[in-house]
Structure 1
């Protein structure tokens, strides 16, 4: 017969039932399984096996939990190139590190979108490094936030698209869509020749196009005048 498990002594436990690390891991798991809207303080407490009131002893709010997730994610991004290499190369390093981090945890995209930098001071220091790179390269101040937003929007889309199949554009019937079939075959040959993953090749192409376009836009001196071409005021 098994001996009965010793009962816990009355009173408060000597050690904390939860800590910042456990809260962070539980929040990541909830984001992965139920998404941003499913991450509530009640769900987080249940995941940790504690009461909601006990959870509030360790973290003040759901917003604080999300801010911590954002802060730890920002620390994974490579900003080492800013101030050491050209702006273009530094941005490429940052963008690729951003993509790789989100490919591992695409569920964090809505968190990054939702959490304002005002609630994430360490993350704001990461962006400060990037903005300093733009400034050192002589870009006008009004261009940097817009350029960052353009790049992040592209990175978010690429990260969410990372789970799509490699043959997503392959037509079901080449005879029915001959132009698409030939284009897809040509792309497949290019991927094979470069020994690259299709999604990596597409990201590289898109990143090059964006960096070239942004540099042309702000280096030309036309700035917002060119960026505003084609926009409709009634939309």
Structure 2
């Protein structure tokens, strides 16, 4: 039977074909995370969000780990590497590091994924590393030290992202304060710092120290 529009009606109960792509899967996964958190991201919930059968989803990604890699690559596009094009090296590193930490403060469940998986299937992540490498090379950094420097920065950034999500009271000694007076006093002094979040103050201090150490290592290598 031909409908009023002149087209044949779709058979009842027959699902429409949906075209899946990595981009569509990534968008749907991000929407799930925004509404339910990372714990709400499962392969079954993702298939429902995409309105496809789980078997169709598995034709494009083999596991939730693959979905997380797609998310990693998407999130890495938000890391600011623009400073390496025009800013002094130290300023560019600071811009990169603060941006990287702030991005992954919102996506800490991705950190274990990035820390252990190869980057060969993540072009956006590689683009970030490429920009950072060019920035290091531009100021004459010894090539053998570039990747170790990136790893050192990432290790610090990832740990700091977790710290930024921790409660401000994480170091409170509570009823054990009397038994550990020096640490308790140091924690109290930390709270008396300027009106800066404790996690930000710690990150700034650590980043200053790391940059100083990297500059010293490069200078020694160039002698």
Instruction: Judge same fold: TM > 0.5, yes or no.
Output: yes
Cα deviation digits, residues 170-218 of structure 1 (max 9, x gap): 322543322122212222112xxx2100000000101111111111112
Alignment-derived partner of residue 185 in structure 1: 188
> Does 2:62 align with 1:61?
yes
Q: Is the Cα contact below 8 Å between 1:77 and 1:94 reproduced in 2?
A: yes
Q: Select the residue among 169, 176, 179 that pairs with 1:176.
A: 179
- Preserved CA contact (<8 Å) 2:164 2:200: no
Count of equivalent residues = 209
User: Given the superposition, is the C-alpha separation of residues 201 and 121 from structure 1 closer, same or farther in structure 2, using an over 3 Å criterion?
Assistant: same
Unaligned runs of 5+ in 2: 1-9
How far the C-alpha of 1:110 sits from its partner, in A, is 1.7
Spell out, residue by residue over 1:121-160, the C-alpha distance to the aligned partner (whole angstroms, 9 max, x if none). Answer: 2321211000011111111111011110111111111111
Distance 1:8 1:93, change over 3 A: farther
2:218 is aligned with 1:218: yes
How far does the alpha carbon of each residue in 1:16-40 deviate from its partner, in whole angstroms, 9 at most, with x for none?
Answer: 27554552244344771068xxx5x
Unpaired runs of 5+ residues, structure 1, are 1-6, 224-235
**1:209 paired residue number:** 209
Whole-Å separation in 1 of the counterparts to 2:220 and 2:138? 17
C-alpha distance in 1, partners of 2:18/2:95?
40
* Alignment TM-score, normalising by the size of structure 2: 0.80
State whether residues 70 and 115 of structure 1, in contact with CA within 8 Å, keep that contact through their aligned partners in structure 2. no
Kept after mapping to 2: 8 A contact 1:66/1:115? no
Alignment correspondent of 2:6: none
